[in-house]
Amino acid sequence: MGNKKNIMKKIKSALISVSDKSDLKQLLKSLKKNNIKLISSGGTYEIIKKLRFECLDVSKFTGFNEILNGRVKTLHPKIHAGILNKRNNKSHQKDLKKNAFENIDLVIVNFYPFEKNLKKTKNHEKIIENIDIGGPTLVRAAAKNYNDVTVITSTKQYSKLIDELNLNKGSTSLKFREEMSKLAFSETAYYDAVISNYFNKISNNNFPPKKMFYGNLIEKLRYGENPHQESAIYSKNKDLRINKIQGKPLSYNNYNDIYSSLAISKSFPKNIGTVIVKHANPCGVSVLKNNLDSYKSALACDPTSAFGGIVSCNFKVTNSVALELNKIFLEVVIANGFDNNARKILKSKKNLRLIDASNYSANEIMKFNSVDDSMLIQSEDKKIFSKKDFKIVSKKKPNKLLLDDLIFAFNVCRHVKSNAIVLASNKSTIGIGSGQPSRLDSCEIAIKKMNRFIKTKNEVVAASDAFFPFIDGIEKLVQSGVSAVIQPAGSIRDKEVIKFANSTETILVFSKTRHFKH
């Protein structure tokens, strides 16, 4: 595209058909100043006339009244020939002259708000009526013929067009038309992807033959996981539903840790729980009801790893918690808001990022992982556990408090990189072993962490994200003082593990589901 000469094209006529009718006045002033003939229809035509600008109705331009309640108005040969003809093609010009058609040099279109309408209604018929046909057709035609035609697809581009016309005395440069064409095709592709995903969603087809991905650029990041890698963050929404209210810009690693911590904290009961994350792995978690105790217990699990980490508070941070947070170096603090006293306390650390996640909820059902030029897709592991999902297989039975601790530990465990072992006591983690090729190694790491940082008089429980293939792992845990273990069933040696548990009077609970996280 960029190798051609910078050919200037004078704009003599413009077709305007916009759903978003804001910011039109300044644009229309510029078009009038440059003696550009305006063609429009429907609501856009009415607004232009109301603003007291001269405009020709599409029906008068084509000589054909709109039909099908407005479904067909700009879909006309005179419109599309005026846009698509190559100005230097003799055959094209002969066809235009024969049919008494004229050039359309500028197309200004934005689409029916299909995506916004999805959030307003579940009525399928209304949703279908908000699929724009004429708009994308006009845009694609103009974008294809960028050599001769300028296309504008967003109100955000109006000022750029005005500057371009002022700079070039009513003309546009090829470079500008190329740039607008590129943005236009992105706009139509995005629009079609939203529609495609809607139809797949209502038919519960998560894995169609062709999968469309779409997103809005939220921010270009300084770099990726490492300084030599490029990075950006996109979202299907216009924002991330999290609000940074203080601190340095967020990095790729920050975002990765933030969403890892939110996945855990938002799985807890409302306004309860603290999660501390380092390198996308939890290093301390607590669901004690008292918020200050919850934070202190999460930190106590592994205060060394917490240094430079991310804290996610599933509650509003107040004075007492803020004072504790201020005692160590942290990269990010996430909470369901911060009161004024907390803001004042944490303001002293200017680089500390504060994230308000009050409006965040983990509602995406699919998870994506890029693999070279391919994509792995799976549904999220968002299963909400109930006691029906577990079976007590040992002779010794847990009381309610111990069973609650086991389920808490198992919930945390599924958010830890596999192989994962979580030790817990009194609704708080006290040792976490993560990401080891050997489950036995994960057991040893979790035990080592517990012995280094925690001195508890309460009973200790252990959770494993998958079954123990041999008794050595559970044996190691029992020897360290663990009195109850929760693990998925499915090993050919499950009976041996049950037998060992009974011989040591260890409580053993089997889960019906496995929870690897790679």
Give the orientation angle of helix 24-33 with respect to helix 158-167, to 10 degrees.
Answer: 20
Return d(Cα 367, Cα 402) in angstroms, integer. Answer: 33
Give the number of other CB atoms < 10 A from CB of residue 122. Answer: 8
Q: Which of 12, 279, 382, 396 is catalytic?
A: 279
For the CA atoms of 248, 249, 250, 251, the dihedral, rounded to the nearest 10 degrees, stands at -110
Q: Is 518 a catalytic residue?
A: no
- DSSP assignment of 37-101 equals EEEE-HHHHHHHHHTT---EEHHHHHT---BGGGTBSS-SHHHHHHHH--TT-HHHHHHHHHHT-
Contact 425, 300 (CB under 8 A): no
**Partners of 482 in the β-ladder:** 460
Query: Residue for token digits 């530990």?
Result: 409
Tell me how far apart the alpha carbons of residues 32 and 30 are, in angstroms, rounded to a whole number. 5
Q: Is 80 a catalytic residue?
A: no
> Residue 442: in which H helix or E strand, if any?
helix 439-453
**Which residues have CB under 8 Å from 197's CB, separation 6+?**
212, 214
Helices 494-503, 471-479: inter-axial angle, 10-degree rounding = 20
Contacts by 435-443, CB closer than 8 A, 24 or more apart: 435/281, 439/464, 439/466, 439/468, 439/469, 439/473, 440/472, 440/473, 440/476, 443/473, 443/476, 443/477
CA 380 vs CA 163, 192, 196, 362, 421: distances in Å: 47, 25, 21, 10, 21
- Among the listed residues 12, 21, 92, 144, the single catalytic one is 144
Q: Whole-angstrom Cα distance, residue 326 to residue 130? A: 51
Beta carbons within 10 angstroms of residue 404's beta carbon: 15
**516 token code pair:** 């690897």
Question: Which residue is listed with tokens 């997103």?
Answer: 215
Residues annotated as catalytic (active site), given as ranges: 144, 279
